[in-house]
Structure 1
């Protein structure tokens, strides 16, 4: 069954949006991408309304199964963090109103999933997104590419997509079908489980 994911790179000035369909064999196909936002000279209420109206339109038009939103990080400057957090809240609330699940992913998770390295730069992410989605040209601006990367990451991270021996190995994956990030996550979970078992605690 194909999974449709709407990725959101939140922000007030630029909010990246990207929709992808991912098949059980991990093949990802572009549905749509774009960027919405407003200028700093507008009031906060007006800027949040732009994001709210835009996400509602995208939810209506594309009916995603799940939203993947970039997790806010505190190492950004305070004003940036506030804007990203506020935009994220509007997006998450819109999804919740419709009963659509939302997943949060860190930038390093996204980079590792699509490039194999959690330290990749934006250019590398855009390049791999272009290859994964088999596009003739890179999606621009970078906020849109980041949103698409978020959507791809979530679909690949779910671990419910099966890969047969006949399926091609996609960029960022091993022959077993797991991305570099997925392999690291699985190894970390297995290690944590072993440590808990040794200490006498149950694994949840």
Structure 2
């Protein structure tokens, strides 16, 4: 299964593409979609077109995207939500299923600690995908999102009724 991970942002949207076969993860590509204009509609158009181009180039079967967290500044949260919405719309336009994960779920699933720092995510992504150097922060976050999705989809030992759960203090709890 080929998975496209997205880390949405108005200025920079990170993307990462991995292949997942059984328990093996293989790096395919990663990068950033950068918007170079000041108007919001033009930025959103660039994000939409950029995500569509990445999908056309790498032909993923599924998309995983980071969910919006609430900032102290509500305006920033709304703007980020618009960037995220456009990225989701591009994936849906290309008829791909979209899974959403919070930053906490992604960090927990990739690093094992929900409050991991950017450098920890970069280093773990590098190790898991056997990259020679850590990827830049936005692509690393997107790759981490794809890895989290692969782990959610591809654990053959986890019965479907237990997906989305984890062990905490000896009990299964929702993620």
Q: Report TM bin, short chain.
A: 0.7 to 0.9
Distance 1:134 1:76, change over 3 A: farther
Query: Is residue 2:48 matched to residue 1:52?
Result: yes
Aligned residue number for residue 161 of structure 2: none
Task: State whether residues 6 and 151 of structure 1, in contact with CA within 8 Å, keep that contact through their aligned partners in structure 2.
Answer: yes
Q: Which residue in 1 is equivalent to 2:73?
A: 77
Cα root mean square deviation, aligned: 1.9
Q: Does 1:184 align with 2:167?
A: yes
Deviation of 1:96 (Å): 1.3
Q: Provide the C-alpha distance between the structure 1 equivalents of 2:76 and 2:124, rounded to a whole number of angstroms.
A: 27
Q: 2:156 matched to 1:162?
A: yes
Matched residue, 1:178: none
C-alpha distance in 1, partners of 2:67/2:29?
22
Among 117, 123, 136, the residue aligned to 1:127: 123
Choose 1 or 2 for highest CA Rg.
Answer: 1
Question: Residue 147 of structure 2 corresponds to which residue in structure 1?
Answer: 152
Could you tell me which residue of structure 2 aligns to residue 137 of structure 1? 133
Greater strand content:
2
- The count of aligned residue pairs is 166
Are 2:8 and 1:10 equivalent residues in the alignment? yes
Cα deviation, residue 11, structure 1: 0.6
Displacement of 1:80: 2.1
Q: Deviations over 1:19-46 (max 9, x none)?
A: 001111x21111110011224x611111
Runs of 4+ aligned structure 1 residues displaced above 6 Å come to none
Q: Counterpart in 2 of 1:23?
A: 21
Residue aligned with 2:38, SS: coil
**Runs of 5+ consecutive residues of structure 1 not aligned to the other structure:** 164-180, 190-204
User: Contact 2:165 / 2:173 at 8 angstroms: preserved in 1?
Assistant: no
Name 2:32's counterpart in structure 1.
Answer: 35
Listed one character per residue, the Cα deviations across residues 148-200 of structure 1 (whole Å, up to 9, x for unaligned) are: 00000011012x4337xxxxxxxxxxxxxxxxx863388115xxxxxxxxxxx
Counterpart secondary structure, 2:132:
coil
Q: What aligned pairs does 1:109-128 form with structure 2 within 5 A after superposition? A: 109-128=105-124
Normalization by structure 2: what TM-score? 0.88
**Following the alignment from structure 1 to structure 2, what is the Cα–Cα distance between the partners of residues 82 and 10?**
12
Structure 2 CA distance for aligned equivalents of residues 15 and 150 of structure 1: 13
Helix, strand or coil: the match of 1:56?
Answer: helix
